[in-house]
Structure 1
Amino acid sequence: MSTQALPQSARRGAEHRWLIAVAVVLAALMQVIDSSIVNVALPDMMGNLGASLDEIAWVSTGYILASVVVIPLTGFLGQLLGRKQYFVGSIITFTIASLMCGAAHSLGALVFWRIVQGIGGGALMTVSQAVLFESFPPEEAGVAMALFGLGVMVGPTIGPTLGGWLTDTYGWPWIFYINIPVGILAAWMIYTYVHDPEDQRRPAVIDYAGIALLAVSVGSLQYVLEHGEREDWFASRLMVALATIGGLGGVALIWRELTTDHPAIDFRVLRHRQMWVGTLLGVVMGVGLYAMAFALPVFLQGNLHMTAEQTGIVMLPGAAATAVSMAVVGRLSGRFDPRLLITMGALTFACAAWQLSLITAESGAHDFFWPLVLRGVGLGMMFVPLTTITLAELSLTELPQGTGLYNFFRQLGGSFGIAGISTLVVRFTAQTRATLVEHLDVTDPSTLSRVDMLTHGMMAKGADPGRAHQQALALLDRQVTGQASVIAYSKIYVISAVIMLSLIPLLLLVRRTSGSASAHAVLE
């Protein structure tokens, strides 16, 4: 039996663990919400700052690039600066940058402060997870991860709704100002109740080469994933160059970090079987989860013409189901094999995705209620046990590096999922539209009847016969394109289901865990 139990003496501040849980969840929730809340305000920013669509996109891209580069460095930076000091500093950086983003009067200033905000935000989720895992005893680790998961999973759901309401009611700067009181409260609670581990050691050497390789490789790859579809992927020389830099830089980064005595990113933690298997599972889950999370709001707003606020309301029952599911699974994780819970969660998620694949252009909000509730239940059943088994074999000193790598690869999987799904939606829509158009023959009686009906409808609105006929043809074309888009999204949901189901055979690689020790002990 190989046991990596966290000694009680190392759990400084454990008596305040529930206050610590509230503080770190606030920090994580603030970061996750900010990743999605901005998107609904971009049109208002464009008008206010006089920016084009490509220019305003850097408000989101700058934040994502900065945060993705920082995430795998959080373990190293926590050692260098002291984890508590780094955590509080990151929250303060994020909060001040939020204030400056809201006060920005130019696109350049807004993008700059969004990058600063991303630098601060990159640490919030990863360090929160490490602090939470250390503060709770092994038998309560599932509950701790459930609390953390609430912020991770619920945040993207309420983000668009909150962002739409704030933008419509008070203006876009308030999507940033709302972070200020939350950030102040979280920073104060972390400063008051969280303590550094007793065995924390500052690194003897700073790995400047590793940090530079990380920034270049991950930044290039993330840019390709964010903008590849817009640039027609490898038809663009820029995308080819950045993909090459990202690939070669990634290989150089791994070689550098495995051969130096003081790496900024300790890939050696992946030697633990639970860690590398859990990370692989996290990548797969990230692809499937982010793919659906990206596709659903776009479908609701683009095809069913819902507002951002209406979209958030439709998705709210799923968020509530996730919260309830995580709370229940957090209590049950010590009694059941995590592999069983993940399997049940994957099957439930796949069932929800299959139900969503049956949607039509006539679907209403009520048609999404049960599929999204099922999806929420499935996510709750997967997230808590997956996080627990991934970190099971890590010692206290390895935990910060492990959480950083786990979150980094899950985020990277999500980026691959979004990039792949956005490309497939366009291609599936074009292919389906071409197929549908083949069946629209100008000599077909049903087609002629449809065009005639639409023409008379346009004439009833005051158009002359010639113009009414052209408008009818244009409307028919939009209807065909809309139906093609619905079919394309239906295929996307099926793909998401298949991706989640692929988690189940991968669970054979996970070691059997036992009882309440599943958080920190693995049976050989």
Structure 2
Amino acid sequence: MSTPTYTPLQPLQGSARMWGTIALSAATFMNVLDSSIANVSLPSIAGDLGVSPNQGTWVITSFGVANAIALPLTGWLSQRFGQVRLFTMSVLLFVLTSWLCGLSPNMETLIAMRAAQGFVAGPMMPLAQALLLSSYPPALAGMAMALWAMTTLVAPVMGPVLGGWITDHTHWGWIFYINIPVGLIAAFITWTIFKKRETPTRQLPIDKVGLTLLVIWVGALQIMLDKGKELDWFHSGEVIALGLVALIGLAFFIAWELTDAHPVVDLKLLKLRNFWTGTVAMAVAYSLFMGNLVLLPLWLQQFMGYTSTQAGMLMAPVGLFAIILSPLVGKNIQKFDPRALTTFAFVVFSLVLYLRSNFNTQADFGTIMLPTVIQGVAVAFFFIPLTTIILGGIPPEKIPSASGLSSFARIVGGSFGTSIAITIWQDRAAIHHAQLSELVNIGSSATNSALAGFGAAGMGTEQALSQINRMVDQQAYMLAANDVFYGSAIIFLLLIPCVWLARPKRAAAGGAGAADAAAGAH
């Protein structure tokens, strides 16, 4: 079938442009908010649905994996249905799946609905960018992207605070129900303003084999990472089977995608030095970022006595410096070497995690918050320069594929990082618990002193020993969290040479690249 002729649309004017920008930004805000709002609510969700908080991390990883799988399909779907129609459908389906998430009676249903929610959310971010850019004249494209980028940076600040407040004051389901009015209004305004600006459609072949293999290997690997701990890893036949499925699926996926005429993921882009070095650095760094972002509120709520609201307040400042500095970084990116800016970001991330690795159970609110505030600086200097490296020198017709593949790697990295961080945290906690327990014995003056103190408080021997075990647990999980923070700090420093393998072209940094970077900031 021949490609339809397409005349570029004239920019929107006046109130239509203003309301169009608001609607697209609101939909983006809702999408990004949902990737962070559940973080501080995990213990409450898990407790209400009768599973462990660690199993509750599936609520985050299922969304991320499904979202990543849907991203490469955006180009095909938008040409099949049209950008405006696809975006509106995506928002309405997101509203429906959000409602079903809130109604979920058990963890299995919630995970399934979160996966569906993540999948239908896939096209929203790239299409919001495309529609927004078509609404503004080229001279104002930078401003349009800055407005849109602010949305993606405000949402992670609001997410933990809003999620914490909702969880403490009403049913956790409302963290999903709040999407309903926002989504319906955004979809109505978008369709009203943009329906006459629909892009041409055409029938395109879809890489069904590649898509199936993608779902199989990514899904098997994520399930293996999430269930490995409870099944005792490779002592379990199920984990071994999942690992083999993931490995064989990945091998077949690579072989198929490199030979198919219309691959769902264009792996040939990995031949480009800037692309593969930037994508690897982005995926690994984002996995560390997300893993620690989920671990911190879990530790605070389970072992430090923080409420969901307090944990949310502690997580929120990560966006403050990011909101202030990101527009400055985006505006001046062409004046600096993006490798140097990324190196600065990684050093700051490493410093933040090093500060966290020195926490103890006596750490107060201000001590725990300080690294979170500093982390916002790293976020601002991380996404925009790295995306400039990734997309630098890529032909314009390959930009959508490159952006989709790098976003896929980033989101999958975030989901894997979450599972790996929680697993290592648990394993290190078990080791620390065993080591600390050896020190609790009848010959220890500290043990006898503690038992005497609990006895004076009216506790029986069993109650006193239970209290000591709780204290050992608290110390063990704190030391384990410190281990994860310290290890992550080292890996950030080890990533710096990877960034310097790139040879970025200064002129490649543009508004769209900065916007893609901002899209990653959640």
TM range (shorter): 0.7 to 0.9
After superposition, the Cα gap between the structure-2 partners of 1:256 and 1:320, relative to the gap in structure 1 and judged at 3 Å, is same
Structure 1 equivalent of residue 365 of structure 2: 365
Gap runs ≥5 in structure 1: 1-8
Shift of 1:301: 0.9
Shift of 1:310: 0.9
Aligned alpha-carbon RMSD (Å): 3.5
Where do 1:23-422 residues align within 5 Å?
23-38=23-38, 63-102=63-102, 113-128=113-128, 150-152=150-152, 154-191=154-191, 192-193=193-194, 202=202, 204-422=204-422
Query: What amino acid maps onto 1:254 in structure 2?
Result: I
Shift of 1:294: 1.6
Shift of 1:340: 1.7
**Alignment partner for residue 482 of structure 2, among 487, 490, 498?**
490
1:261 partner SS: coil
Structure 2 equivalent of residue 479 of structure 1: 471
2:284 partner SS: helix
Distance 1:267 1:131 in 2: 27
Distance 1:243 1:351 in 2: 34
Distance 1:124 1:94 in 2: 9
Is 89-98 or 227-236 further displaced after alignment? 227-236
Query: Cα deviation per residue 1:119-143 (whole Å; 9 max; x = unaligned)?
Result: 2112223444565678789998877
Question: Contact between 2:356 and 2:485, CA under 8 Å: does it hold in 1?
Answer: yes
Shift of 1:502: 2.4
Question: Contact between 2:392 and 2:509, CA under 8 Å: does it hold in 1?
Answer: no
Question: Contact between 1:217 and 1:246, CA under 8 Å: does it hold in 2?
Answer: yes
Question: Contact between 1:38 and 1:60, CA under 8 Å: does it hold in 2?
Answer: yes
Distance 1:62 1:107 in 2: 12
* Count of residues paired in the alignment: 503
TM-score (norm 2): 0.84
Query: What amino acid maps onto 1:346 in structure 2?
Result: F
Question: Contact between 2:71 and 2:123, CA under 8 Å: does it hold in 1?
Answer: yes
Distance 1:89 1:250 in 2: 31
Is 331-340 or 395-404 further displaced after alignment? 395-404
After superposition, the Cα gap between the structure-2 partners of 1:32 and 1:240, relative to the gap in structure 1 and judged at 3 Å, is farther
After superposition, the Cα gap between the structure-2 partners of 1:513 and 1:134, relative to the gap in structure 1 and judged at 3 Å, is farther
TM-score (norm 1): 0.84
Distance 2:157 2:506 in 1: 34
After superposition, the Cα gap between the structure-2 partners of 1:139 and 1:35, relative to the gap in structure 1 and judged at 3 Å, is same
2:122 partner SS: helix
Is 319-328 or 302-311 further displaced after alignment? 319-328
Question: Contact between 1:29 and 1:152, CA under 8 Å: does it hold in 2?
Answer: yes
Question: Contact between 2:346 and 2:378, CA under 8 Å: does it hold in 1?
Answer: yes
After superposition, the Cα gap between the structure-2 partners of 1:390 and 1:26, relative to the gap in structure 1 and judged at 3 Å, is farther
Shift of 1:361: 0.2
Structure 2 equivalent of residue 3 of structure 1: none
Shift of 1:147: 5.3
Query: What amino acid maps onto 2:500 in structure 1?
Result: L
Query: What amino acid maps onto 2:242 in structure 1?
Result: L
Is 140-149 or 124-133 further displaced after alignment? 140-149
Question: Contact between 1:210 and 1:253, CA under 8 Å: does it hold in 2?
Answer: yes
After superposition, the Cα gap between the structure-2 partners of 1:141 and 1:233, relative to the gap in structure 1 and judged at 3 Å, is farther
Question: Contact between 1:283 and 1:410, CA under 8 Å: does it hold in 2?
Answer: yes
Distance 1:176 1:254 in 2: 36
Structure 1 equivalent of residue 427 of structure 2: 427
After superposition, the Cα gap between the structure-2 partners of 1:343 and 1:170, relative to the gap in structure 1 and judged at 3 Å, is same
Is 24-33 or 380-389 further displaced after alignment? 24-33
Distance 1:442 1:287 in 2: 44
Query: Cα deviation per residue 1:309-360 (whole Å; 9 max; x = unaligned)?
Result: 1111112222222211213222222322211211111111211111111111
Distance 1:398 1:201 in 2: 19
Question: Contact between 2:164 and 2:310, CA under 8 Å: does it hold in 1?
Answer: no
Is 125-134 or 479-488 further displaced after alignment? 125-134
Shift of 1:306: 0.6
Query: Cα deviation per residue 1:232-281 (whole Å; 9 max; x = unaligned)?
Result: 22222222212211221122122112211122222233343332222111
Is 34-43 or 425-434 further displaced after alignment? 34-43
Shift of 1:423: 1.9
Percent identical residues: 34
After superposition, the Cα gap between the structure-2 partners of 1:52 and 1:343, relative to the gap in structure 1 and judged at 3 Å, is closer
Query: Cα deviation per residue 1:175-198 (whole Å; 9 max; x = unaligned)?
Result: 222112322343345443599898
Is 439-448 or 369-378 further displaced after alignment? 439-448
Query: Cα deviation per residue 1:469-506 (whole Å; 9 max; x = unaligned)?
Result: 22222212221221122111112111121222223211
Query: What amino acid maps onto 2:502 in structure 1?
Result: V
